[in-house]
């Protein structure tokens, strides 16, 4: 599959020069927001990464190629098409063989980023263990990808429609460090504090980069979660959002929503029930994560130049 990677010139030049690069997902374009907010969010994410001195690499499957770095036209294409499927790791071979487009999930983006040699990825929130998973066995592929793929993921925790306690238990079992960026507790996407502890609190991008380098140079493969709470001015009320999520979950059960359709349904329903406030919070946390990811990538690039034994390129 490495022969199927298409690197944008800007991304390839940055990787060759050891400059910081930040991977960005494309499901946020095709499935995250309605048009044109989806395209605006993607372009603003790229702008924020550049503002911090890093190169953005939005990842998608375009015409059967694993595209690392998209043109404005390709972002527009993903944003306006209603037919683009989500692309997790399992979907990549099918999309390549068919010459199709696909919008990469957290898992899909991590897989392609690792193939390209990109070590830092910014997203909104990771997937996790769904509520009721003891009956449905519905666990996001994101967690398995974090266990196997050596990419650091900056997120505002896991999506709050999930079972966050079980998600953290799963990550612990699979050996994935969960690092709180200036927080002692795991954020809950729309809110800053789930009440659940992180593995360690770190205060600077340089500290995060040092942990990444230590993990991978020791031969400990797999990802790292950097939990970056939504900024206070954009956070939603925890009690109110929990009521809304409970309502949305009941709606999903009544309508027989299952599998990979559950999360998009719940997020859309939460959007309706909050009068759009959840989308504003979502955009704000995505941009905050992109900014932090760029700063971490810059510090990791310095570490990688000093110590090639990290085994990674920024």
Task: For the chain of 314 residues, list the mean pLDDT of each consecutive stretch of 10.
Answer: 87 97 96 91 98 98 98 97 94 97 98 98 95 80 97 94 94 98 96 96 98 97 98 93 88 82 78 86 96 98 82 45
User: What pLDDT score does 234 carry?
Assistant: 95
Residue 66's DSSP bridge partners are: 5, 61
User: What pLDDT score does 313 carry?
Assistant: 41
Which residue in the block uniquely carries the two structure tokens 């400059």? 19
Residues of the domain holding 27: 2-310
Tokens standing for residue 238: 């925890």
Task: Give the whole-angstrom CA distance, residue 164 versus residue 61.
Answer: 30
Where are the alpha helices (H) located in 202-237, listed in sequence order?
Answer: 205-217
Q: What is the CATH number of the domain that holds 186?
A: 3.40.1790.10
Tokens standing for residue 229: 């709470």
Where are the alpha helices (H) located in 174-261, listed in sequence order?
Answer: 205-217, 238-254
Question: What's the whole-model pTM score?
Answer: 0.93
Pairing mode of beta strands 102-104, 178-181: unpaired
How many CA within 13 A on the CB side of residue 219?
0
Tokens standing for residue 228: 């970056």
| 86, 159, 215, 283: the active-site residue | 159
Whats the size of the chain, residue-wise?
314
| 25, 46, 52, 145: the active-site residue | 25
CB-based contact 139:126 (threshold 8 Å): no
Q: For residue 302, indicate whether it is catalytic.
A: no
Residue 226's DSSP bridge partners are: 154, 179
Peptide bond into 265 cis (omega under 30): no
Task: Compute CA distances 256 → 127, 153, 265, 278, whole Å.
Answer: 20, 32, 11, 24
Tell me how many domains the chain contains. Answer: 1
CB atoms within 10 A of CB 90: 11
Q: For residue 207, indicate whether it is catalytic.
A: no
Contacts of 187 (CB under 8 A, 6+ apart): 156, 157, 193, 194, 227, 228, 229, 230
């Amino acid at each position: 599959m490495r022969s199927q990677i298409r690197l944008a010139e800007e991304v390839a030049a940055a990787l060759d020069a050891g400059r910081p690069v930040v991977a960005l997902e494309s499901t946020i374009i095709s499935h995250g927001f309605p048009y044109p907010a989806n395209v605006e969010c993607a372009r603003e994410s790229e702008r924020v990464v550049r503002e911090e001195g890093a190169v953005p690499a939005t990842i998608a499957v375009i015409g059967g190629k694993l595209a690392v770095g998209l043109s404005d036209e390709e972002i527009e294409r993903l944003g306006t098409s209603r037919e683009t499927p989500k692309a997790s790791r399992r979907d990549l071979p099918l999309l390549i063989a068919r010459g199709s487009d696909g919008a990469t999930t957290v898992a899909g983006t991590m897989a392609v980023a690792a193939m390209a040699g990109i070590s830092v990825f910014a997203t909104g929130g990771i997937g996790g263990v769904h509520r009721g998973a003891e009956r449905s066995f519905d666990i996001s592929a994101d967690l398995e990808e974090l266990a196997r793929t050596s990419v650091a993921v900056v997120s505002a925790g896991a999506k709050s429609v999930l079972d966050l306690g079980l998600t953290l238990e799963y990550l612990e079992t699979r050996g994935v460090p969960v690092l709180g960026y200036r927080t002692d507790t795991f954020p809950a996407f729309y809110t800053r504090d789930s009440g659940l502890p992180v593995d360690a609190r770190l205060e600077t991008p340089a500290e995060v980069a040092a942990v990444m380098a230590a993990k991978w140079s020791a031969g400990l493969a797999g990802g790292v979660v950097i939990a970056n709470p939504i900024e206070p001015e954009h956070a939603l009320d925890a009690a109110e959002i929990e009521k809304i999520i409970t309502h949305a979950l009941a709606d999903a059960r009544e309508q027989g929503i299952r599998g990979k359709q559950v999360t998009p349904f719940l997020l859309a329903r939460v959007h309706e029930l909050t009068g759009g406030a959840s989308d504003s919070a979502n955009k704000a946390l995505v941009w905050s994560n992109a900014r932090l990811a760029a700063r971490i990538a810059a510090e990791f690039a310095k570490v990688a130049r000093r110590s090639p034994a990290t085994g990674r390129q920024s």
